Amino acid sequence: MVFIPLMLSQRQRPYNALMASSDQSTPWETYQKAINAHAAGDWHSALWAYHSLDANGINSSAFEFAFALALQQAPVSDGGDISAALARYDRVVAIEPSHAHAWLNRGACFVSLGQSTAALESYSRAIEADNQLALAYFNRGVLHHGLGQFDQAIKDYECALNLEPQQSTWIFNLAEAWRAKGLLTRALALYDQALAIDPRYEGAWCNRGVVLRSLGRFEESVESLSQAIAVNPGYAEAYSNRGLAFRDSQALDQAIHSFSKAM
């Protein structure tokens, strides 16, 4: 996940005139056009403006951050470049070492480049710069989770949730980490917590059903997996897992029907 701070101008100017009017624009006006184009997903215009400003020697942490974010978010076909974004974030933290959001997004660049150790270090620097930045804890937790470091992931998820307790996807990830450690009852309680916030969270209904099946609670498992299917009728994984729950409860006809839906 990439943190997207509130970088957008409140004065929404037309960005489609960027190419025609840039020669007459002040650097500030060009910057505003870049921000507006960025917000609209017009990557070509946004990156053209950022490159134009860069060629004119604009040098500030705000500009470098905005340019980096555009390079990070834009598709490669539209000029996106993770390595170039990383270099821009390096400039941001060289100018402003306490720029927590730059450290955070820099970590996400390293994740995209497959450099886990560097990503962890960058997320930790984000937390050092701002220990209230919940997403930095969450992103570091996701990385620990992916590396199989479940205790560290749990600690980071809990820190993130202490700051932003209503994030259902974060609660889901915490449940998954406890599930990976084999603590199924604790995971189950967390799925319930996520669903109390977002009753249409299909992944939570599905994985809750899987855990209930592992606990031998087959009827409840079927009910939970059916809820996942009600939210998303095309959810093949939920049909497959419901088939297993039916099979384990000796409801073979229902199992066959559910398995057929998964195909």
pLDDT tens, position by position, 211-250: 999 999 999 999 999 999 999 999 999 999 999 999 999 9
Q: What is the pLDDT of residue 24?
A: 58
* CB hemisphere CA count around 239 (13 angstroms): 13
133 vs 115: CA distance, rounded Å: 22
CA distance 138 to 146: 12
167 residue type, one letter: Q
pLDDT at residue 8 in the model: 24
The gap between the terminal CA atoms of the chain, to the nearest Å, is: 31
Would you state the pLDDT for residue 209? 99
pLDDT of residue 212: 99
CA distance 10 to 7: 9
pLDDT category, 14, cuts 50, 70, 90? very low
DSSP the chain: -----S---SS---STTHHHHGGGS-HHHHHHHHHHHHHTT-HHHHHHHHHHHHHTT---HHHHHHHHHHHHHS-GGGT--HHHHHHHHHHHHHH-TT-HHHHHHHHHHHHHTT-HHHHHHHHHHHHHH-TT-HHHHHHHHHHHHHTT-HHHHHHHHHHHHHH-TT-HHHHHHHHHHHHHTT-HHHHHHHHHHHHHH-TT-HHHHHHHHHHHHHTT-HHHHHHHHHHHHHH-TT-HHHHHHHHHHHHHTT-HHHHHHHHHHH-
pLDDT exceeds 90 at position 1: no
Q: Which residue has the higher pLDDT, 1 or 112?
A: 112
pLDDT exceeds 60 at position 202:
yes
| Average pLDDT score over residue span 125-139 | 98
Q: What percentage of the chain carries pLDDT values higher than 70?
A: 91
Which pTM was predicted?
0.87
Give the mean pLDDT of 169-191: 98
- Residue 126: name the closest of 175, 93, 87 by CA: 93
d(CA 31, CA 26) in angstroms, rounded, equals 9
Band of pLDDT at residue 56, cut at 50, 70 and 90 = confident
Q: Give the chain's domains with CATH numbers.
A: 1-130 (1.25.40.10), 200-263 (1.25.40.10)
Checking if the pLDDT of 21 tops 80, the result is no
CA distance 91 to 72: 15
Q: What is the mean pLDDT of the chain?
A: 90
Q: Which whole number is the average pLDDT over 95-118? A: 97
Is the Cβ–Cβ distance between 46 and 75 less than 8 Å? no
